[in-house]
Structure 1
Amino acid sequence: MGTRAFEREVELFRKHGGGLRMSEALRLGINRKTLYAMRDAGVVEPVTRGLYRLAALDPIAHPDLVTVATRVPQGVLCLISALSFHELTTQVPHTIDVALERGTRKPRLDYPPTRFFWFSGPAFHEGIETHELDGVPVRIYDPEKTLVDCFRYRNQLGMDVVLEALRFWRERRKKKLDVLLKYARMRHVERAMQPYLEAMS
């Protein structure tokens, strides 16, 4: 059995960007037995527990980010993970950094290794961008919010990481100093950041 046997189901997958969660598939009328038959026939492949995508699609470029975004849709990529996405670091993230709104329970996630940080109010909601990676919407803080958050967590991340990111950001043509300062005030790190910003100007 190949794709021909599952034409209707494949079409539903295509309409949803090539990937579906088990719950979405069930809601669309694809039952578990059919989904498992599609998997066994090599028509779909599991990306992570409960998420399937068409095997005919190009390989996933961001498997870990897609997995986290699918399993923790209320989270936002932050700190080193967001720096890496925005190409503001030479660090290779060994864990995925995810911000959750304060009061949210810690999700159970076996893989990939994930660090959770709890932000509250505007510190959580401001600066969120949604990028589509491999057909999946992934929420990531914008470069300026990421820099300010890294400064806030500088003791945990290491000042060398933060200063490198600041240097990369300064070299960009498209940078928003007014936005950076707005976030810095919001996160109460404006005074701490000022000398570094002046030294680079």
Structure 2
Amino acid sequence: MQKFNFEKEEHPLIEKLTMEARAEALVAGWKGFITVEDFANVDVNRVAIQKIRSRGLIENAAWGVYISPEARAEAGPLYDLALVNAKFPRAVFCLQTAAAFHGITQDVMEEATAFVPRSYGAGPKMGREFTVPIDYIVTRRESVLEKGVEWYEVGGGCAARITTPERTLVDMFRYSTRGTEGNYDALIEAEAYRVCVERCVDLEDRGEFDFDEAYMIAAEFDFMDALINSTADIRHYYTPSPAP
């Protein structure tokens, strides 16, 4: 999603350029992060990459990942999440991180949270210069990494993989003190979960949330009835806030 469509076959003249010129052409037509593999696709090696880096055309964002200064300036506060996904596209930002992104929590998170597949080990290795605190939850279930997950643009052509508002509500319940996932160390407090449900009611009132969709996602994880029962009273007694 965050990559500009740039293939040699569609740009035959690129093969007539020098390697450094090919690197410049790629950067000029690219949006977001550029990986070593992207450069290799147009026959650009690491020597040419370092040459255009020394000229300030790109910055080294992480091991094997680059970005233009212009895209970096436009990426905004979620740049680091998008950077993780540029290198590890199967990571999924979730729970409080997703709730904050969608505006369905009042908590200010001090670290990000992401689901990752077991193939990533204990968590993606980003290099020693990457110091953003991220709590990785390793999972074996494909549905955890795919169901109710979307790419969201965060500026500068960069994108992060984040759970949808409906999936976020499901996870906030699963990992709350009212839910069923007792193996997670940092449980979501009941009050934080209640606020999440109330703000989802606000979003539904504006046509930006679908509780039925959330319940269908919960069914994927075998606790649809539990989520319905958990949200019923909150939805019944809460009056939606006026639209901002």
C-alpha separation in 2, matches of 1:180 and 1:132? 22
% same residue: 21
How far has the Cα of 1:68 moved from its partner?
1.4
Does the 8 Å CA contact 1:83/1:146 hold for their aligned counterparts? yes
- CA gap of 1:93–1:119, structure 2 versus 1, over 3 A, is farther
Deviation string, structure 1 residues 125-167 (Cα, Å, up to 9, x no partner): 2111122333234221110110111111013122222222222
C-alpha separation in 2, matches of 1:150 and 1:142? 12
Query: 2:216 aligned to 182, 189, 197, which one?
Result: 182
How far has the Cα of 1:67 moved from its partner?
1.6
> Is 1:131 the counterpart of 2:174 in the alignment?
no
- CA gap of 1:177–1:75, structure 2 versus 1, over 3 A, is same
- AA of the residue aligned to 1:185: A
Query: 2:81 aligned to 65, 68, 75, which one?
Result: 65
> Is 1:19 the counterpart of 2:11 in the alignment?
no
How far has the Cα of 1:64 moved from its partner?
1.2
Equivalent position of 1:158 in the other structure: 189
Q: CA RMSD in A?
A: 2.5
Does the 8 Å CA contact 2:31/2:71 hold for their aligned counterparts? no
Q: Count matched residues.
A: 197
Max Rg structure: 2
- AA of the residue aligned to 1:186: E
Deviation string, structure 1 residues 84-141 (Cα, Å, up to 9, x no partner): 2112123233222111346763334353222122262434421111223332342211
- AA of the residue aligned to 2:153: E
Equivalent position of 1:30 in the other structure: 44
SS of residue paired to 1:171: helix
Query: 1:167 aligned to 198, 211, 214, which one?
Result: 198
- Give TM-score, length-normalised by structure 2: 0.70
> Is 1:147 the counterpart of 2:161 in the alignment?
no
* Paired residues for 1:3-14 under 5 Å: 7-14=21-28
Which 10-residue stretch deviates more, 155-164 or 96-105? 96-105
- CA gap of 1:199–1:181, structure 2 versus 1, over 3 A, is farther
Does the 8 Å CA contact 1:44/1:52 hold for their aligned counterparts? yes
Equivalent position of 1:52 in the other structure: 66
- CA gap of 1:18–1:146, structure 2 versus 1, over 3 A, is closer
Does the 8 Å CA contact 1:132/1:138 hold for their aligned counterparts? yes
- CA gap of 1:120–1:200, structure 2 versus 1, over 3 A, is farther
Does the 8 Å CA contact 1:102/1:120 hold for their aligned counterparts? no
How far has the Cα of 1:69 moved from its partner?
0.8
SS of residue paired to 1:157: coil
How far has the Cα of 1:18 moved from its partner?
4.6
Does the 8 Å CA contact 2:20/2:44 hold for their aligned counterparts? no
SS of residue paired to 1:154: coil
Equivalent position of 2:5 in the other structure: none
- CA gap of 1:106–1:28, structure 2 versus 1, over 3 A, is farther
Query: 1:83 aligned to 95, 99, 108, which one?
Result: 99
- Give TM-score, length-normalised by structure 1: 0.84
